[in-house]
Amino acid sequence: MQWTWLKLLLRDRGMMLGAWYTSPRIKGFFNRKIKLQRKKILPTAIALHKQMYTAFAEKDTKTLRKICSDGIHTSFMARMEARKKDEKWEWSIVKYNGRPRVVSNRMARLPIDGAALHQAVVKIKTKQQLRRWAGEKELAGSTEKDTVEYLVVQRKIWRWESSEWEVWGTTEESDWEDVKETWTMKMMG
């Protein structure tokens, strides 16, 4: 398993460096059109995480449209429509349970010159609070809970120009049984 993890890590880093290296030079060898933005991923993902859930709680559809990709945006819209009209929500992070960290950082070149897709997965452990209101009355179902989320953020690169980071969705951590099943299916053809 560690050998597989190392191969995937090297492949991902190689693809990132390959996309960077094949992008046009601006000035000198190291100044390229594609910027890898490794240092920006974590603070950007944390900010998008807060913005996304705050906008969802407040039914701020403009912000959700701006920061979310189509799939998760559609999911949020359906969930907001299912909410009662007079119900208001307040969402907040009570505290972070450990430091958020980037667990995956990948870039894939597309078969069009100057096009690529950059995705990163950030693990965020928090204690979150959701309060629900109908008028002045707080409703039952208001909660405070510990959560572990794997937030997937992405940016698109077109004609060597990067878009802003957006939330692609969330994912779950694979356990050993999932890995074994994937490898078994792969080996069987």
Annotated domain spans of the chain: 35-175
* Per-residue model confidence as pLDDT tens digits over 126-182: 999 999 888 888 887 778 999 999 999 999 999 888 899 999 999 987 776 766 676
Instruction: Tell me how far apart the alpha carbons of residues 146 and 178 are, in angstroms, rounded to a whole number.
Output: 24
Give the residue-averaged pLDDT of 60-76: 96
Pick the closest to residue 53 from 72, 37, 40, 31 (CA basis): 72
Per-residue pLDDT at 45: 97
Which fold does the domain 35-175 belong to in CATH?
Answer: Nuclear Transport Factor 2; Chain: A, (3.10.450)
Question: How far apart are alpha carbons 120 and 154 in whole angstroms?
Answer: 6
The closest alpha carbon to 49, from 166, 145, 181, belongs to 166
Collect all residues with Cβ–Cβ distance below 8 Å to 39 and sequence separation of at least 6: none
Question: Could you tell me the pTM of the whole model?
Answer: 0.83
Q: How far apart are CA 55 and CA 59, in angstroms?
A: 6
69, exposed or middle or buried, with CB in 10 Å at 0-12, 13-18, 19+?
middle
Q: Which of 9-23, 40-54, 130-144, 164-178 has the highest mean pLDDT?
A: 40-54
